[in-house]
Amino acid sequence: MADGGTSRRVVVTGMGAVTPIGHSVADFWEAMRQGRCGVAPIERFYQNDPHFLTAKQIENFDLGVPIAAQIKAFDYRARLKHFKRDKLILFADRYSLFAAAAASEAIAQAGLSVPFAEPRRAACIIGSAEAGIINLEIAYRHIFELKQPSTHPLTLVRFIGSSAAAHVGIEYGVRGPTFAACGSCASGAHAIGLGRDLIRHGVVDVAIVGAGESPHTYGTMRAWQATGLLSPDGIFPFATKGNGTVLGEGAGILVLEAIHHAKARGAKILAELCGIGSTSDGTDMLAPDLTSAAEAMRLALEDAQLASCDIDYINAHGTGIASNDRVETAAIKRTFGAHAGELAVSSTKSMYGHPLGAGSAIEAVVCVKAIEEGWVPPTLGLEQVCSACDLDYTPNIGRPRALTYAMSNSFSFSGLNAALVFGPSPG
């Protein structure tokens, strides 16, 4: 196409979410309205393995950070009982189960007939930072500690990073591009961006995009603990008491469509995906770079053909790691200038923890709902703001506000940045 595909507008027609505070978009949104927090002491690790750790055994190990935001009472058999084409989904890794449940919700809302009538005109891109780490850890325990001659025969397809995308693609009959995206904590945003580009350039008409994550294993907790980035107290973005992040889990999925495809089948359009910006720090694996974070936001605005003053709300990356929160604040001020003081900002991770690669996908759902409902979710635990963080972070209580355009920031470990801009339904 002469214009590089930019005239092919991309819209959101379905959303799904599984989080520590709600197992569907409706329950998740209601929990945020109530200001509910899913951070709690770790009750168990969810490896389905009789040789693995029980809650009582966990107490006997040196787990210096004993809290997380875990999804509890998730009945995956009930949520996925209608799956017919994918024969292995009930044996999948936990992160894939979350992604499959969220995808099912999103596709049902979109009203798409399944299996897809034009399977090669559909794509499925589901990201993750750690993918099937649960089953990988189980396999290593069997091999190296228990000295067993083999692991479970499904170990490979459980832990590979493309497994969630493959499961969802099989169930819904996707025959177009189907793969994973790994951009650490920006994985979901990168998956959304890749799906958008495939639609823009006419490769597909529909894309199932997002991310899933379930990182809570003993080994993962110890590895993250070694970085010094986890808080033993809770996740408090932009607050003076912020002393680290809290690992969460879950999934967020969007159904993206070319606008002509959505209108032709009479779909309800929830929002438009207007712009995407992506950068790499190229400097340090752990310390964030202000310039690259600001550039991701600037590129997203440029891609959306919007001025900085058009943005009403920013869902911040806001992990509760003090240095990162300060850099994000400075990057917002650099990008938005005088308008930064007019923005509503919040970190919804304060309610469901940091679900790594799934965070940016869940927060895309938050942005679409915020525009739809005209309500800005809060940043919990923000009694006293860090001196270097001087924006309106919507402390503790959400509030009504008419929103036209919202931005979602994802500034991940390893210096990979993404910003998404969502706007109202074009009608």
Tokens of 269: 């359009």
From the list 37, 124, 182, 185, the catalytic residue is 185
For residue 219, give the 3-state DSSP assignment: helix
CATH 3.40.47.10 for the 275-423 domain, yes or no: yes
From the list 124, 182, 354, 386, the catalytic residue is 354
pLDDT at 109: 98
Superfamily of domain 10-264: Thiolase/Chalcone synthase (3.40.47.10)
Q: How many Å apart are CA 404 and CA 259, to the nearest integer? A: 18
- Which string of DSSP letters, residue by residue, matches 49-70? -TTS--HHHHHTS--S--EEE-
For residue 401, give the 3-state DSSP assignment: coil
From the list 23, 142, 261, 317, the catalytic residue is 317
Checking 193-198 for CB contacts under 8 A at 24+ apart, the result is 193/276, 193/278, 193/418, 193/420, 194/125, 195/123, 195/125, 195/254, 195/256, 196/10, 196/256, 196/273, 196/276, 197/5, 198/123
For residue 112, give the 3-state DSSP assignment: coil
- Which string of DSSP letters, residue by residue, matches 293-351? HHHHHHHHHHHHT--GGG--EEE----S-HHHHHHHHHHHHHHHGGGGGG-EEE-THHH
Chain-centroid distance, C-alpha 222? 23
Provide the residue ranges of all domains of the chain, joining segments of one domain with +. 10-264, 275-423
Q: What is the CA radius of gyration of the chain?
A: 20
pLDDT at 2: 36
pLDDT at 142: 82
pLDDT at 58: 57
Residues of the chain with pLDDT under 70: 1-7, 47-61
pLDDT at 182: 96
Do 10-264 and 275-423 fold alike per CATH? yes
Q: In what order do the strands lie in the sheet with 416-423?
A: 178-179, 122-127, 206-213, 250-258, 10-18, 271-280, 416-423, 406-412, 313-315, 344-346
pLDDT at 146: 82
Q: What is the pTM of this model?
A: 0.95
Q: How many Å apart are CA 155 and CA 143, to the nearest integer? A: 12
Known catalytic residue at 354: yes
